[in-house]
Structure 1
Amino acid sequence: MDFLGLFKQLPVQILTVALLIIITVYLIRKSIKLFFDKTSILDEKREETLMHFSNQVTKVLGLVIFFIFVLSNFFDLTKLVTGSVVLASALALILQHIIRDYIMGLTYLFERQIHHGDYVIINGNRQGKIEEISMRHLKIRQYDGYLYTVSYSNITELQNGNRGMRRVNESLVLNYRQNPDDAYKVIEEVANTCNEKYGEYLLKDENGVPVESFKFNQITELNVDFRGHRYSLTGVVKEADFVEVGKKVRYELAIAAYKNDLMMAESGGLESQQGL
């Protein structure tokens, strides 16, 4: 059998197209990487983010082209889509969410709201380092080690801590039977203690005045998970000291709760929430 006859066989065509797509995707990625290596238009963090995003885009486009080619050998895709109102309606509903994810993802990317490696808080309760920026979702590595994936359309609030300063935001979730007046006095004392012991970590302006000292923000959330109320303490610190200061503030809150017999929420203890 000659080569032309062999190529006409469907399995050989599919393998050939798959190989061509893989090679094309590889060359595109190498070209983009070479471009960034040879230029200095963008900062390193921005280049890394765009490289990561372009890798995801080329992978998705490659898979889409491959599946369209395979399906075109078995179905008349034009007639299949235009001839079925039900299928077209279903595709429209599905694509509505997908397109929304893509648009919001591009918005986050090109408005420079996120970069690969940034520490973020998503929707107020998920926090960690961005490990993957794809066309439709973000993946962040949380402090507990778990990898959290969220689509862009499900992001209602995003706080980015990688902007030269970080806001330490630690909290105690106390039982709803805890007297708020007593809790206020204890946590206000913790804020004063933190300013005295850890004032060197606070971010300061050109006059040496702290941008935001440690302060008690009173009750920031009621009936957290039906367990109790959240009492929070915040302060703006230098980026490099964020993790260390968070540990110190959590310790001060924990020891104060212990010494003053504060009533913790029934199903939990000390909780923390960190952000910009």
Structure 2
Amino acid sequence: MLKIIQYLLNKLFKFTRFDVRYKNTLCSVLLSISYYIILIISIILILREFQIVDVTKFGTLVTGASIVGLIAGVASQSILKDIFNGFFILFEKQLQVGDFVVINEVFRGTVEEIGLRSTSLRDWDLKRITVPNGSITSIRNYSKDKMRVVVHVRVSYEEDPMKVLSALEEVCGIMNEKYKDYLWRSPSGEARSPFKIYGVTDIEDNPVGAKYTITGVIESYKYFSALRETKLQILIVFKKSNVHIAYPTHINILHHDNNNTKEL
């Protein structure tokens, strides 16, 4: 039955102008609602078959309703919390099917299904994670139109700052030209906030090196690709320009006398 409903919904959505993610979200929710409706009807039919509840008779209907009410009363608190929280998540479009999200700063993955009571994710290892809607307290959505890529790199204090800035400028040029399809653009097609050097963002209380930062606003669905490519280009350009990334060092000083050698 659910397969038939899914087929009919897909046919129906072909005549709408919804984007793919919104269509998949609506389809997921409507399938969840259909599942519970079919389940309730099936329970009523089974009860009627065993002459426990007959919807055509008022007395047995009241008895059946009392039984259902008793069961619902026990579980209603968590169920209603799940349903209401799920409703607001959908109404406010906090997430949609296909979005990459982090829920409660713990669960990370792509939204695969949104139901009345729970939301299902598929993580990097392809494990399916199901989170009750009522327990969702925070959502970080990586699929909302635009995102800012922020990349920090620490460079040794011995390096010439102007040389470092020149190398980072080259990185920004490569990202803005070679990967221009990643950039977030205005309706007219102009890149609004391309990659640029933000500047030196830390030189205090760090013995390793100065921290430089570059940023760029990109289409949200390209975030992780842009982040990887930016870091790769930094390594390539720094290697070519002979700019050394800072890293912690440990120096051992050996003291030698006639009897033994000691490490200081």
Name the CA shift for 1:135/1:234 in 2 (closer, same or farther; >3 Å): farther
| Contact kept? 2:103, 2:139, Cα under 8 Å | yes
Residues 1-276 of structure 1: pairs in structure 2 closer than 5 A = 22=1, 25=2, 27-37=4-14, 39-72=15-48, 73=50, 75=52, 78-79=62-63, 82=66, 88=70, 91-168=72-149, 197-198=171-172, 200=176, 203=183, 210=193, 236-239=217-220, 241-248=222-229, 259-261=246-248
| Structure 1 residue 137: Cα displacement | 1.1
148-157 vs 241-250, which deviates more? 241-250
Greater share of residues in helix = 1
| Contact kept? 2:142, 2:221, Cα under 8 Å | no
**Structure 1 portions without partners, runs of 5+:** 1-21, 173-181, 219-231, 264-276
| Contact kept? 1:213, 1:236, Cα under 8 Å | no
- Three-state SS of the structure 2 residue aligned to 1:210 is coil
- Three-state SS of the structure 1 residue aligned to 2:228 is helix
The one-letter code of the counterpart of 2:11 is: L
**Aligned equivalent of 1:274:** none
- Three-state SS of the structure 2 residue aligned to 1:70 is helix
TM-score, normalization by structure 2: 0.58
- Three-state SS of the structure 2 residue aligned to 1:149 is strand
- Three-state SS of the structure 1 residue aligned to 2:131 is strand
1:125-172 CA-to-partner distances (Å, cap 9, x unmatched) read 332211111221111112233222111111111122223323447899
| Contact kept? 1:161, 1:167, Cα under 8 Å | no
| Contact kept? 1:132, 1:140, Cα under 8 Å | yes
- Three-state SS of the structure 2 residue aligned to 1:114 is coil
When Rg is computed on C-alpha atoms for both structures, the one with the higher figure is 2
TM-score, normalization by structure 1: 0.56
Distance 1:195 1:144 in 2: 36
The one-letter code of the counterpart of 2:219 is: K
The one-letter code of the counterpart of 2:63 is: K
Give % identity: 21
- Three-state SS of the structure 2 residue aligned to 1:67 is helix
| Contact kept? 1:214, 1:236, Cα under 8 Å | no
- Three-state SS of the structure 2 residue aligned to 1:45 is helix
- Three-state SS of the structure 1 residue aligned to 2:226 is helix
| Contact kept? 1:114, 1:160, Cα under 8 Å | yes
| Contact kept? 2:143, 2:221, Cα under 8 Å | no
**Structure 2 portions without partners, runs of 5+:** 54-60, 202-212, 239-244, 251-264
- Three-state SS of the structure 2 residue aligned to 1:128 is strand
Distance 2:52 2:126 in 1: 45
What count of residue pairs does the alignment treat as equivalent? 208
Name the CA shift for 1:91/1:166 in 2 (closer, same or farther; >3 Å): same
